[in-house]
Copies of this chain bind each other. A is one copy, B any other.
Amino acid sequence: MARLLRKQSLKSGMPPGSIINVGSLLTPTTMEYIRYNDSSIKILDANDLSVFRDMPDAVDWIHIQGLSDTDRIIQICQKLKVHFVLIEDIFNDNQRAKTEDLEDGVFVVLKFPVFDEEEGHLHMEQASMILSGNMVISFQSSQEPIFTPLKDRLYKAAGKIRKLQADYLLYALCDLVVDSYFAVLESIDDTIEALEEKLVGDPTQETLQKIYHLKQETIVLRRAVWPMREAVGTLNRTDNPIVNESTHIYLRDLYDHTIQVIDTVETFRDMISGMLDMYLTSISNKMNEVMKVLTIFASIFIPLTFLAGVYGMNFHFLPELGWKWAYPVWWGVTIIVGLAMLAYFKRKNWL
């Protein structure tokens, strides 16, 4: 398992609002500044935010990927009058998903799952978005190309995105984040199906470890997913005038998808729990089978060995030894005892 927490405790005792980069410092900061309206789209210089309003009804999208260049990001945020506490949230990788309804905008933090192929486990990445005026600024701590499909749609003018305002852009970003859960959920679904087949066939210690691994992953997902419900719900219910009436049907749909993600995670939790129970009970069942085999063998042959031992004794006066039919009689007795034992186990339903 990956660690659940990044070292936030470093911040203990710092003035509230002080920025410490608890996320990865290794991802270099890149900025993209796209301005578009229905008819045209162009790329601006992210360092010169003053070049405003040269395109009628234009939507501005600044996307900042990688948060290592703390100073420059803080500078931009301050230029856009983002509150210190929110800047802190952008850098805090342990932040829960949340929506903050600001006076003149909306601030959204969401988490999305990334499957780390190398280490073989899930971890959560963070995406923060600020909607202010007709501009959206989005922040992402990692290099995961989660928003690339949106850029393509913007350039191709696919769907309605170029015709609508910045609030729709914010929705589209959130929608990509929520959709990213489905790929992970489907892969879990596949793993569950594969594990169930093994469970019915011949479960091993490795099967157990995979179930356990899956369970812990579901716990991590669950922790990310529940706060998202509240965050998307708040966004859905907002009466902030910056969110147009016509966008609300999309936000409701987004909320639906979020609930669907939560439902699925909870269902997986129940299923995996059931698999663990099934595994444990299967093992007990098998041990019972093993015990029966041992008991049958031991209970039949230990008395017989005793019988053999009796006539292996060297007492000088052991009359049976000299009897003519002793040996065949002995075999008779032995076979009868053996068969009686078998009958006894048969009656006990052990055979």
Chain A residues proximal to chain B, CB less than 8 Å: 1, 3-5, 7-9, 11-18, 83, 85, 88-89, 94-96, 98, 100, 148-150, 152-153, 158-161, 171-172, 175-176, 179-180, 182-183, 185-186, 189-190, 192-193, 196, 200, 202, 205, 208-209, 212, 215-216, 219-220, 222-223, 226-227, 249-250, 252-253, 256, 259-260, 263-264, 266-268, 270-271, 274, 276-288, 290-295, 297-299, 301-306, 308-324, 326-327, 330, 349-350
Pairs across A and B, CB under 8 Å, 5 listed: A5-B185, A9-B186, A202-B349, A287-B287, A312-B312
Whether A15 lies near B161 (C-beta < 8 A) is: yes
Give A271 Cβ to nearest chain B Cβ, in Å: 6
Whether A88 lies near B253 (C-beta < 8 A) is: yes
Whether A327 lies near B315 (C-beta < 8 A) is: yes
Whether A284 lies near B285 (C-beta < 8 A) is: no
Whether A12 lies near B149 (C-beta < 8 A) is: yes
Given contacts A96-B260, A298-B299, 10 further A-B contacts (CB under 8 A): A1-B192, A4-B264, A9-B186, A16-B172, A208-B278, A223-B264, A293-B299, A315-B326, A316-B321, A319-B327
Residues on the B chain within 8 Å of A270, using CB: 219, 222
How many copies of this chain? 5
Whether A89 lies near B253 (C-beta < 8 A) is: yes
Selected from B7, B98, B292, B314, the residue in CB contact (under 8 A) with A314 is: B314
Residues on the B chain within 8 Å of A316, using CB: 321-322, 326
Of the listed residues A176, A268, A290, A298, the one surrounded by the most CB atoms of chain B closer than 10 A to its CB is A290
Selected from B16, B175, B183, the residue in CB contact (under 8 A) with A253 is: B16
Whether B179 lies near A9 (C-beta < 8 A) is: yes
Whether A306 lies near B301 (C-beta < 8 A) is: yes
Give A336 Cβ to nearest chain B Cβ, in Å: 15
**Given A12-B182, A327-B315: A4 touches B283 (CB 8 Å cut-off):** no
**Given A16-B253, A96-B256, A249-B83: A314 touches B311 (CB 8 Å cut-off):** yes
Residues on the B chain within 8 Å of A302, using CB: 297-298, 301-302, 305
Whether A5 lies near B306 (C-beta < 8 A) is: no
